[in-house]
A and B are shown apart, each in its own frame.
Chain A
Amino acid sequence: GAVVSQHPSRVICKSGTSVKIECRSLDFQATTMFWYRQFPKKSLMLMATSNEGSKATYEQGVEKDKFLINHASLTLSTLTVTSAHPEDSSFYICSASPWRLAHYNEQFFGPGTRLTVL
């Protein structure tokens, strides 16, 4: 149990285009999902927290107009990188927190999406 998928796993796009990344919890409901960014050989940097049916909460320094997050259902959250530029190239990882009393703080991570902006 507690499987999280991400799609696509890898995307290459031209500068100025928008890219959408999907994050799905496959076998549990997640009222809260998180989006992280990870640079090579570095730790995970939290970008935003999204709760189903409400606006995402962005971390300081993360442009909410550039990184649009939608959490439309209890199993799906999407991250759209708008007008992508080469500096947005990174590994984007989502995580989901199950709505289970005994595991209220657990986060299960997706496999990540490698974004390369040319």
Chain B
Amino acid sequence: QQQVKQSPQSLIVQKGGIPIINCAYENTAFDYFPWYQQFPGKGPALLIAIRPDVSKKKEGRFTISFNKSAKQFSLHIMDSQPGDSATYFCAASRGGWANNLFFGTGTRLTVIP
């Protein structure tokens, strides 16, 4: 059973556009929600993360919106660039030390110049 559901599977936007990737979860014990960016043949890199006590977090061009009641969170990429073309994974984990991350299925983003 997929603990974190991610959509869309793939996304194509023009340069400067704002791609939005959505994730949903069921387990209310989750309290840490990171986003990872992965380029082909590389390991995932932590982009940004949020905890349930805030509804929005912005770091550079990346923003997470979090809706605790709906159990949903999303990643927005402002002013997207061709270099942002990668696969993005959302994830979630429970509170406590070093708990397992449950990953979404990934979104392949292509930014067209």
Binding site for B on A (CB under 8 A): 2, 4, 6, 31-32, 34, 41-44, 46, 49, 91, 93, 95, 97, 104-112, 114
Contact = CB atoms under 8 A, between A and B. Distances in A.
Nearest to B2: A43
Looking at chain A's contact residues, the main secondary structure is strand
Interface of B: 31-32, 34, 36, 41-46, 49, 89, 93, 95-101, 103-106, 108
A43 B31 CA distance: 21
A109 B44 contact: yes
B46 A106 contact: yes
A106 B43 contact: no
A55 to B, nearest CB: 16
Interface centre among B98, B99, B100, B105 (most CB of A within 10 A): B98
A39 to B, nearest CB: 11
Nearest to B33: A105
Contacts of A108: 46
Given A43-B103, A106-B49, A32 B43 contact: no
Nearest to B36: A109
14 contacts: A4-B43, A31-B97, A31-B98, A34-B101, A43-B89, A43-B104, A49-B98, A91-B41, A97-B98, A104-B97, A105-B95, A109-B46, A111-B43, A112-B42
A35 B32 CA distance: 19
Contact of B100 (A34, A43, A91, A114): A34
B41 A112 contact: yes
A44 B103 contact: yes
A6 B41 CA distance: 13
A110 B49 CA distance: 18
A39 B90 CA distance: 17
A104 B97 CA distance: 5
Given A105-B93, A106-B34, A109-B36, A46 B45 contact: no
